[in-house]
């Protein structure tokens, strides 16, 4: 079933099997992260689960990190591996470990609980900084300090809350100040930077480790708005310097900014951007089709989503398929239909199947499909919560053999010479690659591969 590489199986976080790990190349067992759970084999693991899973290629994670380290910024700048939202659906702890092996210097999350999860895993060295770039609320301050998670502050109130929580430390606690230069999400507005800088300057317990902003249009061809954000940031940085603050890190570049080399800082005194954050591109995807320098780094997709046929049958003409009967078989003498055990409850979007246009009342079908025996098989009828159906008539005829239960199907990724990319799926759904991987559900076990 799997290549002869290290494989780790992680069951859905909502289920009874959490953080299962295995080594196919060594012991061929699955082991729960807690030693009280007995070891089970890979075959036993799949005996307890339907045959739907996502393979996470940790070698690809390491490759993508090295591409940025050696090509995007081949200098001494620190690389931050962004593992928020459970590493965009790939698994935060496993991806974090791979990124660190490849040379990432720090980790970034969006919420305090994501940072706590990494710390409590026991698999992230205590010396590795974990930066929470998103939500900060005053009642979280003690948790940030207890678990050594670097918070983002954006107000004087936030500074005071962290200062109070860290008052018993025998060292200065690091914080990063985020400035809203045009994203309109979180961050201090430029007019507030002076007062926040003053509060940090007066603090006896805090250390302004970093100052940053976030580009909202760095993945677009027109860079004029990004340049305005850079100019706004540089003006704010002047206010910070007036309060004798010397942050170690200045950063704004996300995956898109890293590829297009957006710099920030005051060119007169060499205070320049010295850290960059890699999010979506760590998982093998370019931020957008408009990236002018996307060929600068060669990325490898990390996730492959697979399932297996659970039933195959021949239906005579006139047989309706799935809810609403939107699809009706018409081939003679029969249409071969295969059922797959995956649906919208797993993040496989309902819109990929047949749907009724509420404005026109007409049934529409994207013509979307999956890969079986290296060929595309189209979805027929609506995608259900737990299953959907595909037409395999032509595939069976091409190979001269019926499609049978247990045959492997690729929902996302490569099979033979054919491929379904995350970009293609996101375009079909009118969304972005980020959403596709983030929504692969908790019921889908992640199988981690390494050593290829």
Q: DSSP labels for 203-264?
A: -SSEEEEEEE---SSTTSS--HHHHHHHHHHHHHHHHHHHTT---SEEE---HHHHHTT---
Active-site entry in 228, 320, 323, 356: 323
Q: DSSP labels for 384-444?
A: -SS-EEEE-HHHHHHHTS---TT-EEEEEEEETTEEE-HHHHHHHHTS-HHHHHHTS-TTS
Measured distance CA(30)–CA(20) in Å, rounded: 6
> Cβ neighbours of residue 138 under 8 Å, at least 6 residues apart?
157, 158, 161
Q: For 363-392, give one letter per residue: b (16+ CB within 10 A) or e.
A: eebbebbbbbbebbbbbbbbbbebbbbbbb
Torsions phi, psi of 118, nearest 5?
-65, -45
Active-site entry in 84, 178, 294, 306: 84
- Looking only at the bridges linking them, the beta strands covering 335-340 and 388-391 are antiparallel
Q: Find the helix packing angle between 112-120 and 92-101, rounded to 10°.
A: 70
Question: CB–CB of 218/254 below 8 Å?
Answer: yes
> Catalytic: 84?
yes
Measured distance CA(157)–CA(126) in Å, rounded: 28
Q: DSSP labels for 247-292?
A: -SEEE---HHHHHTT---EETTTTEE--EEEE-GGGGT--S-TT-T
Measured distance CA(96)–CA(128) in Å, rounded: 10
Torsions phi, psi of 181, nearest 5?
-100, 5
ω into 333 cis (within 30 of 0): yes
For residue 28, which of 12, 14, 49, 7 has the smallest C-alpha distance? Answer: 7
- The catalytic residue positions are 84, 323
């Amino acid at each position: 079933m799997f290549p002869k590489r290290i494989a780790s199986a992680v069951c859905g976080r909502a289920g009874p099997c959490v953080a299962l790990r295995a080594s196919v190349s060594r012991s061929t067992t699955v082991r729960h992260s807690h030693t009280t759970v007995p070891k089970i084999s890979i075959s036993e693991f799949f005996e307890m689960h339907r045959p739907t899973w996502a393979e996470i290629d940790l070698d690809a994670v390491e490759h993508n990190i090295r591409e940025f380290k050696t090509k995007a910024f081949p200098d001494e700048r620190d690389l931050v591996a962004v593992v928020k939202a459970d590493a965009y659906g790939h698994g935060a702890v496993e991806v974090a470990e791979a990124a660190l092996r490849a040379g990432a210097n720090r980790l970034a999350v969006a919420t305090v609980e994501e940072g706590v999860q990494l710390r409590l895993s026991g698999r992230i060295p205590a010396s590795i900084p974990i930066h929470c770039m998103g939500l900060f609320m005053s009642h979280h301050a003690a948790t940030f300090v207890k678990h050594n998670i670097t918070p983002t502050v954006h107000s004087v109130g936030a500074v005071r809350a962290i200062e109070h929580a860290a008052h018993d430390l025998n060292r200065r606690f690091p914080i990063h100040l985020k400035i809203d230069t045009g994203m309109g999400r979180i961050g201090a507005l430029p007019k507030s930077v002076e007062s926040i800088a003053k509060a940090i300057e007066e603090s006896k317990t805090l250390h302004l480790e970093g100052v940053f902003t976030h580009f909202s249009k760095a993945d677009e061809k027109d860079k004029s708005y990004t340049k305005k954000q850079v100019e706004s940031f540089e003006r704010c940085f002047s206010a910070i310097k007036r309060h004798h603050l010397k942050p170690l890190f200045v950063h704004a570049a996300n995956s898109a900014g890293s590829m297009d080399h957006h710099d920030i800082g005051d060119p007169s005194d060499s205070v320049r951007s010295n850290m960059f954050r890699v999010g979506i591109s760590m998982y093998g995807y370019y931020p957008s089709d408009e990236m002018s320098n996307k060929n600068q780094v060669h990325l490898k997709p990390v996730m492959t989503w697979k399932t297996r046929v659970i039933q195959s049958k021949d239906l005579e003409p006139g047989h309706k398929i799935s809810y609403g009967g939107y699809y009706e078989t018409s081939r003679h003498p029969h249409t071969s239909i295969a059922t797959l055990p995956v649906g919208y409850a797993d993040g496989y979007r309902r819109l990929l199947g047949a749907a009724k246009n509420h404005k026109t009342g007409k049934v529409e079908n994207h013509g979307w499909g999956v890969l079986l025996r290296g060929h595309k098989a189209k979805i027929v009828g609506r995608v259900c919560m737990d299953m959907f159906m595909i037409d395999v008539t032509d595939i069976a005829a091409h190979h001269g053999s019926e499609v049978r239960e247990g045959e492997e199907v690729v929902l996302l990724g490569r099979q033979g010479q054919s491929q379904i990319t995350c970009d293609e799926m996101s375009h079909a759904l009118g969304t972005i690659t980020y959403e596709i991987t983030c929504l692969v559900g908790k019921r889908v076990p992640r199988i981690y591969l390494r050593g290829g």
